[in-house]
Structure 1
Amino acid sequence: MDKASASKIREKFNTYDEDGDGSITIAELKNGLKKDGIPCNDDAELDQLMKIIDTDGDERIDFAEFTVFYMQKMIDPGQEGVKKANLFAIKKQIPNQTELKERFSKVDTDGNGSISVDELKEAFGSSDDAEWQNFMKLADEDGDGEISFDEYVVAMMKLHLKD
């Protein structure tokens, strides 16, 4: 769980996002890979990697796209139920960061930047406490009783990776 935590992925994302603008360019990707000991001197290979990671094609890697990449390539595939198969070959549509922010905002009804169990119940019309407690165990990595946006993104990617 430690390696795929939202805080670890955000920390790694921030090391790649050199200018702190919330996205990673191809130059920043190249530098980040070098820092991680993965030299990528072949521009064609780097372009191909960028196309794979940048699923919305805007030539920038956002946190959601990076999370998919990180969970697929940077973590031991046997860990946390992450499939060994190539995530990008899975036919499921991986939501982009804009979609995830929209979904998150709809559930975060009080607008405080985090989602509580009560907000989950209200948004999805279920009063089954066990169901929501299980989801909180998956998503609320820091145990504060709330799901931050970063925790939400990682939880959604984990759900997409499940069988």
Structure 2
Amino acid sequence: MVNSSGDEFQELKVADTFAHKGANKEEPTTFKMTAVCPPEMRKELRIAFDSVDDDRSGSISADELYKLFNNFRVDIDEDETEELLQNLDMDGNGEIDFDEFVEIMMSAMEDEDEMIEASFKEFDVDNDGFIQVNELRYVLQYLGENGISERDMKKMIKNADYDGDGKVDLEDFRRLWKEH
């Protein structure tokens, strides 16, 4: 996908970002933070991915992974590389596609707080230290998700608002991230 400035970016799937259970009062609408990756970080990961994907197939093969390790002088043989690839290959197709690469890199990040703060900043559009309904709406629209009602967005905020102040601050966001 290409934005208005011509930059390519990978669209986040809202289904991976939010668990949306609809208007049923008995089923709360909640955030699910397992696959949030800030767009800037995704852009950097795309560059890294593309540098390894030598044949531009859209996925990283065992040979390309082996070559990457050799370039960084990692002592690994081809069999170990194949075994590693099998462990990292989430869909079992024998290669690592970009979404799998992002998942691997996100889970490999050593500083989880940095990742949480970067993700929070993506939602805190006006940089006031809080995520409010209008910012959630903006992010959802940016992601192309226009079918979530105002009422459900308010429920999302309410369910993520652990301190009850009507807004999601960094501590609420951090707690939410760690619980999901």
TM-score when normalising by structure 2 = 0.45
Q: Looking at CA atoms only, which structure, 1 or 2, has the larger radius of gyration?
A: 2
Higher helix share: 1
Is the strand fraction higher in 1 or 2? 2
